[in-house]
Amino acid sequence: ALKFWDTRKLKVPIAQASPQSDTTNNKEKRAHGIVSLSQDSSGTFLTASCKDNRIYLYNILQLDKGPVQSFSGCRIDSFFIRTMISLDGEHILSGSSDGNAYIWQVNKPHVDPTVLKGHDKEVTAVDWSQSEIGKVVTASDDFTVIKTFHHMFGTTVEHRDQPLLKPNSIYF
């Protein structure tokens, strides 16, 4: 469950929302826990990536209504997968346990996401460029960083950096 607090009064949360019903037992709740949270630049929308392989979009001003939309297609097998909302609030970018990153259009949640391929292991870190709309960066457990530019989510121009760290090496 998502809980929002007024830090001036920390006795009880001011709002609460849950991506699924509270009728499940504790073991099932843990299996479908929240992995990552991301807020848009206006502070109105919040994404919650969950272990049920879905990303839920909430309107913070109407939490009691539950998720506004949900997005599927990525695989979230660990608590290390991150999700980010684009600066314009129109797209959601997520890593995935299948070695890909995914981009959804917020206003078209049922349309298949754009799949960014190129990593060999779980994609754990993703982010949008702060200066160039459509440019993203992804990082993976395969020790690589990939910078990708999508022009209207059509053609992909990709730059793959060499591994940042070598596996099984000691760094000082």
The CATH number covering residue 129 comes to: 2.130.10.10
Q: Is residue 77 part of a domain?
A: yes
For residue 45, being part of any structural domain is answered with: yes
How far apart are the C-alpha atoms of 112 and 91, rounded to whole Å? Answer: 13
Element spanning 29, H or E: helix 26-31
Query: What is the distance between the alpha carbons of residues 66 and 26, in angstroms, rounded to a whole number?
Result: 20
For residue 89, the enclosing domain spans 2-160
Report the chain's mean pLDDT, rounded to a whole number: 80
Whole-angstrom distance, CA of residue 110 vs CA of residue 104: 9
pLDDT value for 71: 97
pTM score, whole prediction: 0.78
More confident residue, 79 or 28: 79
Give the C-alpha separation, 164 to 160, whole Å.
Answer: 11
Domain count, the chain: 1
Residue 170 lies in a domain: no
Interval 44-88: pLDDT, tens: 999 999 999 999 999 988 888 889 999 999 999 999 999 999 988
What is the greatest pairwise CA distance in the chain? 51
Q: How far is residue 122 from each of residues 19, 23, 45, 105, measured CA to CA in Å?
A: 24, 31, 26, 22
